[in-house]
Structure 1
Amino acid sequence: MKVLAAMSGGVDSAVAAARAAEAGHEVVGVHMALSKSRDQTRTGSRGCCTVEDASDARRAAERIGIPYYVWDLSDDFHDLVVEDFLAEYAAGRTPNPCVRCNERIKFASLLERATLLGFDAVCTGHYASIRADGPGGAPSLHRSRNMEKDQSYVLAVMGPEAVRRSLFPLGEYATKAEVRAEARARGLGVSTKPDSYDICFVADGDTRGFLERNLGEAPGEVVDADGTVLGTHRGTHGFTIGQRRGLGVERPAPDGAPRYVVDIDPASRQVVIGAAELLSTYELVAGDVISFEPLTAGRRVSAQIRAHGEAIPATLVGVPSTSAAVPPAEGGPAPARADGATPAVEPAGTALRIRLDTPLRGVAPGQTLVLYDEDRVLAAATLERRA
Structure 2
Amino acid sequence: MAKVRVIAAMSGGVDSCVAAALLLEQGYDVVGITMQLWNHKGDGEERFDSCCSLTDVHDARASAHKLGIPHYVVNYEREFKSGVVDYFASEYGQGRTPNPCVLCNSKLKFDHLVDRARALGAEWVATGHYARVIHHGDGRPSELYTGVDGNKDQSYFLFDMRPDNLRRAMFPLGGMTKSQVREKAKALGLHTATKHESQEICFVTGGRYSDFLEKHYPDVTKLTGEIVDRQGRVLGRHDGIHLFTVGQRKGLGAILGGEPRYVFAIQPESRRVVVDSMENLSVQGFTVSSINWLVDPSTVNEERVLSVMVRYRAKPLPCRIRRLENGTYQILLADKARWVTPGQAAVFFDGEQVVGGGFILQAIHEQTAAEESAAKSFGTGTGRVERPESQSLRPTLGQPSADF
Q: 1:147 to 1:76 in 2, by over 3 A?
A: same
Q: Deviation of residue 40 (structure 1)? A: 2.7
Q: Note the aligned Cα RMSD (angstroms).
A: 1.9
Count of residue pairs the alignment pairs up: 352
Measured in 2, the distance between the counterparts of 1:201 and 1:297 equals 40
Q: Deviation of residue 137 (structure 1)? A: 5.3
Matches within 5 A, 1:224-235: 224-235=229-240
Measured in 2, the distance between the counterparts of 1:98 and 1:202 equals 12
Q: Deviation of residue 136 (structure 1)? A: 7.0
**1:82-138 residue CA offsets vs partner (Å, 9 max, x unmatched):** 110000000111110111111232112222232233321111000001124799754
SS in 1 for 2:27: coil
The gaps in structure 2 that reach 5 residues or longer are 365-404
Mapped contact 2:13–2:192 kept (Cα < 8 A): yes
Matches within 5 A, 1:157-236: 157-173=160-176, 175-213=177-215, 214-215=217-218, 216-236=221-241
Measured in 2, the distance between the counterparts of 1:225 and 1:212 equals 29
The equivalent position to 2:78 in structure 1, one of 75, 82, 85, is 75
The equivalent position to 1:377 in structure 2, one of 328, 334, 354, is 354
| Corresponding residue of 2:393 | none
SS in 2 for 1:16: helix
| Corresponding residue of 1:52 | 55
**1:301-337 residue CA offsets vs partner (Å, 9 max, x unmatched):** 0000111111111122x136xxxxxxxxxxxxxxxxx
**1:237-282 residue CA offsets vs partner (Å, 9 max, x unmatched):** 11111111112654435xx3x2110111122111111112332111
SS in 1 for 2:159: helix
Q: Deviation of residue 228 (structure 1)? A: 1.6
The equivalent position to 1:100 in structure 2, one of 95, 100, 103, is 103
The runs of at least 4 consecutive aligned structure 1 residues that moved more than 6 Å come to 133-136
Aligned residue identity for 1:237: H
**1:53-82 residue CA offsets vs partner (Å, 9 max, x unmatched):** 101000100111110000001111111111
Matches within 5 A, 1:1-387: 1-38=4-41, 39-43=45-49, 47-132=50-135, 138-173=141-176, 175-213=177-215, 214-215=217-218, 216-247=221-252, 249-253=254-258, 256=259, 258-293=260-295, 294=297, 295-316=300-321, 318-319=322-323, 350-387=327-364
| Corresponding residue of 2:377 | none
SS in 1 for 2:182: helix
SS in 1 for 2:162: helix
Q: Deviation of residue 207 (structure 1)? A: 1.7
Mapped contact 2:135–2:167 kept (Cα < 8 A): no
Mapped contact 1:212–1:238 kept (Cα < 8 A): no
TM-score (norm 2): 0.83
Aligned residue identity for 1:368: A
Mapped contact 1:211–1:238 kept (Cα < 8 A): no
Aligned-residue sequence identity (percent) comes to: 41
Measured in 2, the distance between the counterparts of 1:274 and 1:135 equals 54
The gaps in structure 1 that reach 5 residues or longer are 321-347
| Corresponding residue of 1:333 | none
Q: 1:250 to 1:88 in 2, by over 3 A?
A: closer
**1:325-356 residue CA offsets vs partner (Å, 9 max, x unmatched):** xxxxxxxxxxxxxxxxxxxxxxx651222211
| Corresponding residue of 2:384 | none
| Corresponding residue of 1:332 | none
Measured in 2, the distance between the counterparts of 1:117 and 1:134 equals 24
Measured in 2, the distance between the counterparts of 1:218 and 1:100 equals 25
Q: 1:144 to 1:134 in 2, by over 3 A?
A: farther
